[in-house]
Amino acid sequence: MVVRAPMPGTIISVNFKVGDSVKAGDVLFILESMKIKNEIKAPQDGKIKEILVTEGQYVKRRDTLVDIEE
């Protein structure tokens, strides 16, 4: 399943790499939007298949951030 940006902003932290296992609720990214830092969490357990953003990248709402393999 893919995780999308809930709002536009800048990715200021990517907390994992491809192949890492994550649990539901793990913080995947910190997305800064209008000076507010937002934690983007894993919606389910799984393994990181593909990361589509890098630190410092500006994302629009609904942009895909990561693909998680169940």
| Positions in the binding site for another protein (CB under 8 A) | 6-8, 33-36, 38-39, 41, 61-62
Q: How many helices (H) and strands (E) does the chain have?
A: 0, 8
Residue closer to another protein (CB basis): 41 or 49: 41
Q: Torsion angle of alpha carbons 45, 43, 62, 21, nearest 10°?
A: -30
CA 15 to each of CA 12, 36, 66: distance values in angstroms, whole numbers, following the listed order: 10, 18, 12
Task: Give min distance, CB of 18 to another protein, in A.
Answer: 25
Residue closer to another protein (CB basis): 5 or 48: 5
Residue closer to another protein (CB basis): 18 or 44: 44
